[in-house]
């Protein structure tokens, strides 16, 4: 963590995951106590039985907001090929073809994209892509850092006059050599010197789909190639099909704006969040960027986010601590953590039921961009068996269009019933079932070739065991596809994966071009 005064706080954690790959952080956590920036480096290592070393690494970062700061982080209005101030909400068909949509202007808003052309036109764009650009609104234009950041924006970035952008609250972030007091260019008379870059104004931007990293950038000026199209295979990351995004796929769009003076050891920071959903090409509204909740707060109605398990979804919670279907061990720490879409400070209530029927109930509110975690709610899992979480989210506050009205928008996890999910806790007496699948007899390359129409999974009960039912949990990143009891047939638990059936439950389940989702 790097504070506004350049002070660096370094904290390291290490441990060993359980047999199913879950690591609870040894019960530790890090609290961001001061505004600033952070960077997280993660490395996982595994040595196989034959001595092979497997290593996975990731790096990411962003900022922690300045309390009651002088700036607000925003996306951008309209497509990126327009040098004027567009409305904050609208349709792709409102604009000429070409260009790319940008992160929605207001935190909490939703951008629906489409892979094809917008209604009543053949030309592509802007609805088929997203550019990762942010801006900021100056609440105090006389704040020393804010005033300097506004002054150093190149005129070419704002059509020659920045005043309209300041008034609209859409000021670009740019890091350049500051001018002399008389307005002349320092570099012309003195040449470049590092201290001329003491003032730095830049943004963090991030687009994340469950299980797939899409874009992560730090930009000191507008970058024209920071966009992506929805047929991008994202380097064929595990869980992503060769066709890229499918209707019903969703992404969390996060960002932060930073203005800091390295020499003076001063800085201000603001954070941002919004949502993206891929709509069907035949959606009559086409691509659009709108407030959430289907006009509940009085703004335009962009429709539901998407449909899962036959239900229209207006908001949901994505568990990223203990996830649906996780296999944990007695002594592991239960953590409820994750984002809410729309990315707003909504309420969260949940009850955790242990195998013996005892319950623990918690409630709280997400942060300004919809992220929820309260470390005081963590607890140790003390008994083996099937645990159940009943979770609900509700938004009772402001949106970009105003305050929501009763009945307040609500939702839960993306599960068959929209409220509950289950996970398993094991101990030393737990028998692990020997599960087999006919997929192992097929070359994995065929999984992506549309040659597999179904797959069979079987697990015989241990010798001497009897039972009538088994509990089945089937998940893909972000969504629980099935959560039900199965009848045991002749001492064998059997389940058939029928991709087309899964796709009817969740439209973003890959099957048309082969099996790809991590299940």
Q: Round to whole Å and give the CA distance between 227 and 206.
A: 11
Q: Could you tell me which residues come within 8 angstroms of residue 133 by beta carbon, excluding any fewer than 6 positions away?
A: 75, 76, 80, 102, 103, 203, 205, 219, 222, 223, 226
Rounded Cα gap, residues 138 and 73, in angstroms = 9
Three-state secondary structure of 359-418: EEEEEEECCCCCEEECHHHCEECCCCEEEEEEEEEECCCEECCEECCCCCCEEECCCCCC
Mean pLDDT to the nearest integer, 373-381: 97
pLDDT surpassing 70 at residue 196: no
Gap between the Cα atoms of 196 and 207, Å rounded: 32
Its CATH class, for the domain covering 312-426, is: mainly beta
| Under 8 Å between Cβ of 341 and 250 | yes
Determine whether 506 is exposed, middle or buried from the number of CB atoms within 10 Å of its CB (0-12, 13-18, 19+): buried
Percent of the chain at pLDDT > 70 equals 96
| Domain regions of the chain by residue span | 71-290, 312-426, 436-505
Q: Is the pLDDT of residue 127 over 90?
A: yes
Cα distance between residue 149 and residue 134, in whole Å: 14
Calpha distance 355→65 (Å, rounded): 40
The pLDDT mean for the chain works out to: 93
Residue 172: is its pLDDT beyond 70?
yes
Whether the predicted pLDDT of 309 surpasses 60: yes
- pLDDT over 80 (residue 194): no
pLDDT given at position 302:
98
Q: What is residue 456's predicted lDDT score, i.e. its pLDDT? A: 94
Question: Which tens digits make up the pLDDT trace of 46-98?
Answer: 999 999 999 999 999 999 999 999 999 999 999 999 888 999 999 999 999 99
258 has pLDDT over 80: yes
Instruction: Give the C-alpha separation, 400 to 290, whole Å.
Output: 9
Strand partners, 212: 209
The predicted model gives 291-318 an average pLDDT of 97
Q: What is the mean pLDDT of residues 486-497?
A: 95
For the stretch 385-417, pLDDT in tens is 999 999 999 999 999 999 999 999 999 999 999
Q: What is the pLDDT of residue 195?
A: 63
Phi-psi region of 286 (alpha: psi -120 to 50; beta: other; left: phi over 0): left
Q: What was the pLDDT predicted at 183?
A: 62
What pLDDT is attached to residue 104? 98
- Which band of pLDDT confidence, cut at 50, 70 and 90, is reported for residue 189? very low
**pLDDT at 160 (0 to 100):** 85
CA atoms within 13 A on the CB side of 382: 11
> What is the model's pLDDT at position 360?
98
Question: Of 238-242, 274-278, 469-473, where does mean pLDDT reach its minimum?
Answer: 238-242
Mean pLDDT of the region 164-182: 86
Cα separation values, 322 from 23, 57, 334, Å: 10, 21, 6
Lowest mean pLDDT among 22-26, 99-103, 199-203, 508-512: 508-512
- Tell me the per-residue pLDDT of 339-348, one tens digit each, with 9 for 90 and over: 999 999 999 9
**pLDDT given at position 254:** 98
Q: Residue 197: pLDDT above 90? A: no
């Amino acid at each position: 963590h790097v504070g506004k005064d350049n002070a660096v706080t370094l904290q390291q954690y290490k441990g060993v995951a359980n047999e199913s790959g879950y690591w609870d952080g040894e019960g530790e956590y890090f609290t961001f106590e001061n505004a600033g920036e952070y960077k997280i480096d993660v490395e996982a290592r595994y040595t196989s039985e034959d001595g092979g070393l497997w290593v996975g690494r990731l790096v990411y970062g962003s900022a922690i907001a300045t309390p009651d700061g002088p700036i607000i982080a925003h996306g951008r209005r309209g497509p990126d090929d327009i040098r004027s101030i567009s409305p904050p909400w609208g349709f792709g068909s409102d604009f000429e073809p070409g260009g790319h949509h940008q992160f929605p202007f207001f935190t909490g808003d939703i951008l629906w994209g489409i892979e094809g052309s917008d209604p009543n036109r053949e030309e592509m764009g802007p609805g088929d892509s997203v550019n990762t650009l942010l801006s900021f609104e100056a609440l105090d234009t006389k704040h020393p850092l804010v005033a300097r950041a506004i002054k150093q924006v190149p005129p070419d970035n704002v059509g020659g006059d920045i005043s309209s952008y300041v008034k609209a609250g859409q000021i670009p972030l740019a890091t350049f050599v500051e001018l002399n007091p008389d307005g002349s260019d320092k570099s012309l008379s003195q040449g470049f010197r590092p201290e001329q870059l003491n003032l730095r104004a830049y943004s963090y931007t991030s687009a994340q789909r469950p299980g797939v990293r899409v874009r992560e950038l730090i930009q000191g000026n507008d970058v024209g190639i920071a966009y992506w199209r929805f047929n991008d295979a994202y380097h064929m990351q595990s869980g992503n099909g060769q066709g890229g995004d499918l209707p019903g796929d969703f992404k969390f769009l996060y960002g932060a704006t930073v203005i800091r003076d390295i020499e003076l050891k001063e800085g201000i920071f603001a954070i941002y969040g919004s949502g993206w959903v891929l709509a069907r090409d035949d959606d009559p509204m086409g691509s659009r960027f709108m407030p959430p909740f289907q006009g509940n707060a009085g703004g335009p109605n962009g429709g539901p986010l998407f449909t899962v398990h036959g239900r229209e979804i207006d908001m949901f919670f994505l568990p990223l601590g203990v996830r649906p279907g996780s296999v944990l061990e007695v002594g592991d720490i239960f953590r409820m953590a994750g984002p809410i879409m729309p990315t707003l400070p909504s309420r969260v209530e949940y009850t955790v039921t242990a195998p013996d029927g005892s319950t623990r109930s918690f409630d709280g509110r997400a942060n300004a961009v919809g992220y929820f975690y309260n470390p005081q709610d963590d607890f140790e899992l003390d008994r083996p068996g099937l645990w159940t979480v009943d979770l609900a989210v509700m938004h009772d506050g402001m949106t970009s269009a105003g305050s929501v009205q009763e009945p307040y928008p609500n939702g839960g996890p993306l599960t068959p019933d929209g409220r509950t999910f289950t996970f398993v806790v094991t101990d030393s007496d737990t028998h692990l079932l020997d599960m087999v699948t006919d997929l192992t007899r097929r070359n994995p390359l065929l999984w992506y070739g549309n040659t597999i129409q179904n797959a069979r999974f079987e697990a015989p009960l241990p010798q001497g065991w009897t039972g009538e039912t088994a509990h089945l949990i089937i998940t893909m990143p972000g969504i629980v596809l099935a959560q039900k009891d199965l009848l045991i047939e002749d001492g064998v638990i059997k389940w058939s994966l029928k991709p087309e059936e899964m796709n009817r439950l969740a439209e973003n389940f890959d099957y048309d071009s082969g099996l790809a989702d991590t299940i």
